[in-house]
Amino acid sequence: MNDKHSKTPGQVVEDTIVPACKPWSAEVRKGDVVRLIDLEGQQAVDFLCYNLTNKDERYNAANTIKLNNSIYLGQDTVLWSVRAQPLMTIIADTCGSHDTIYGCCSIEIDRVRFDKENSWGCQQNFESELVKHGMSEKDIAANINFFMYVPVREDGQIAIADGLSKPGDYVDLRAEMDVLVVLSNCPERDNAAAGYEPTPIRAIVYRPTA
């Protein structure tokens, strides 16, 4: 395992290896930081975020694109809610580009895209994880794909390209309010989202030293 980014500038609240293909979630206090480490590189991390005290207020991709004037997420990007409140801010990013337009994989879309009966997808991961928080599929919004590269060409065409993230690349997300974060360590094997071979990631929550 690549361990060069395990030293966090603060007190570690949680430190978890999320196995390949599995979901993870955490309630994160305002001011705390979530570090997501792509341990082996080219591993998409599908990500949702909610206001912890009012989970109807959640991450909104369109607001985030509008208010950051970019379809890509990176250093200093604010994750905006459907009520145009800052949920989190990307305060560090060693990868450089993350997607929020391509959505997540699912058993159902793989049937259409690949004519295959895959057993699991990020949609299913989200559903199983949201249940733990009293939520359901109705709470799934258009998500972020950290470490996933979806270039948009001048003519508007898009497709998943090979991921840009190298082993050990990470993003730091500072909570701007108390939030619930839910992620799916993407199990897709039929496109480049997870480099055709899903791998583990590491999720650290830390409280920065003042």
Positions that interact with Zn ion (CB under 5 A): 105, 122, 186, 188
Q: How far is the CB of 110 from Zn ion (least distance, A)?
A: 9
Edge-to-edge order in the sheet of strand 78-80 = 10-18, 201-208, 33-38, 169-175, 86-93, 78-80
Q: How far is the CB of 13 from Zn ion (least distance, A)?
A: 27
Residue 190 DSSP one-character state: S
For residues 79 and 122, which CB has a smaller minimum distance to Zn ion in the complex? 122
Q: How far is the CB of 17 from Zn ion (least distance, A)?
A: 18
Q: How far is the CB of 125 from Zn ion (least distance, A)?
A: 8
For residues 39 and 122, which CB has a smaller minimum distance to Zn ion in the complex? 122
For residues 12 and 159, which CB has a smaller minimum distance to Zn ion in the complex? 159
- Among 123, 98, 95, 97, which residue's Cα sits nearest to residue 109? 123
Spatial separation of the C-alpha atoms in residues 143 and 150, rounded to whole Å: 14
Q: How far is the CB of 76 from Zn ion (least distance, A)?
A: 26
Sole residue written with tokens 């978890």: 16
For residues 44 and 177, which CB has a smaller minimum distance to Zn ion in the complex? 44
Question: Cα separations (Å) of 60 from 47, 165, 193?
Answer: 12, 24, 21
For residues 32 and 188, which CB has a smaller minimum distance to Zn ion in the complex? 188
Spatial separation of the C-alpha atoms in residues 88 and 27, rounded to whole Å: 13
